[in-house]
Amino acid sequence: MKKLLIVCSLLLMSVLSGCADDDSKPTKAETIKIGAIPDQNTADLNRSMEDFAKDLGDKTGLNVEFVPSVDYSALVTAFQRGEIQLAWFGGLTGVQARNSVPEAEAFAQRPIDEKFKSVFIAQKDIEIDSLEGLKGKSFTFGSESSTSGHLMPRYFMMEAGIDPDQELDGKPNYSGSHDKTYKLVESGAFETGALNVSVWEAAVKEGKVDESKVKVFYTTPEYYDYNWTVNIDNEETKTKIKEAILSMTKDDNEIMELLQTDRFIESKNENYKAIEEVAKQLKIIK
């Protein structure tokens, strides 16, 4: 009996010791998955977003993972399903995502996104100086879900009396991304096109576009566009993420350079109501 009591005591001490060890282990960091619309060179975007994820993780203590998306709609779907909790959306994709996830919140944007623009481009030797001049020309948009590469260019074309589906040379093309749009016009595949002003300006600055072959002939009025949208139940975690992103500077990570900004500023869902109304007017969303 004495031996049995000793064995039981030893077993109890072992269990208690194990419990103490478990309590001393650090809690596993919460995992947050992030995404971004693939609106430009995917290799550059993916590398920059990986760097952003690491920086955000360092700033918040969270385990942040970047999940690439094959196209705009794939990111919206992943956000709707809860597979992505934080996303860099365009104005239209943000509206689509938040319409399906009403509790989601647009909380940050670049300063430029308060007054964003699209540019219309044409082959250099084409005489054109207005949207009315697009009649009878071949034309390429960016992605069908792009605010600056489709929604707002289509809207301004319609405002100028040009029906993109009826009055161009054939149906409009959809390149899929802004960098592909200027390359298609530069190559002569299409006479004209429309894209995001910041991607165009970066391409010109970095010598990625041949200005002897393609030119800007029209710049649109301003509208709200890109934003960070989050859908996380834990308010403490959400606050950490918001504060971290709003504190970032151009020296923190590669995404700031790729997005051509030195900081992010606060935003809110209401800023994108006009985008939603245009999308409904053009029957892109219900």
| pLDDT tens figures, 121-146 | 999 999 999 999 999 999 999 999 99
What's the pLDDT tens digit per position in 169-202?
999 999 999 999 999 999 999 999 999 999 999 9
Q: Comparing 31-113+225-272 with 117-219, is the CATH topology the same? A: yes
Sequence ranges of the domains in the chain: 31-113+225-272, 117-219
Q: How confident is the model at residue 286 (pLDDT cuts 50, 70, 90)?
A: confident
| Domain 31-113+225-272: CATH superfamily, name plus number | Periplasmic binding protein-like II (3.40.190.10)
pLDDT at 5 over 60: no
pLDDT at 20 over 50: no
3-state SS class at 227: strand
pLDDT at 38 over 50: yes
Q: Please work out, in degrees rounded to the nearest 5, the angle formed at the alpha carbon of residue 91 by the alpha carbons of 85 and 94.
A: 25
Global confidence as pTM: 0.84
Structure tokens at 87: 């996303």
Q: How confident is the model at residue 2 (pLDDT cuts 50, 70, 90)?
A: very low
- Least confident range of 39-43, 109-113, 168-172, 198-202: 39-43
Q: What is the pLDDT of residue 40?
A: 87
Give Cα 280 distance to the centre of its chain: 21
In this predicted model, which residue has the larger pLDDT, 9 or 282? 282
Q: Report, as an integer, the average pLDDT of 213-229.
A: 97
pLDDT at 250 over 80: yes
- Distance (Å, rounded) from C-alpha 243 to C-alpha 263? 12
Structure tokens at 242: 């918001």
Q: What is the pLDDT of residue 28?
A: 57
Rg (CA), the chain: 25
- Distance (Å, rounded) from C-alpha 261 to C-alpha 267? 15
Q: How confident is the model at residue 161 (pLDDT cuts 50, 70, 90)?
A: very high
Q: Report, as an integer, the average pLDDT of 49-57.
A: 96
In this predicted model, which residue has the larger pLDDT, 145 or 28? 145
Q: Token pair 């260019």 is at which residue?
A: 153
Strand partners, 174: 141
- Least confident range of 57-61, 166-170, 250-254: 250-254
Mean pLDDT rounded to a whole number for the chain? 91
**Domain 117-219 -> CATH class:** alpha beta
pLDDT at 17 over 60: no
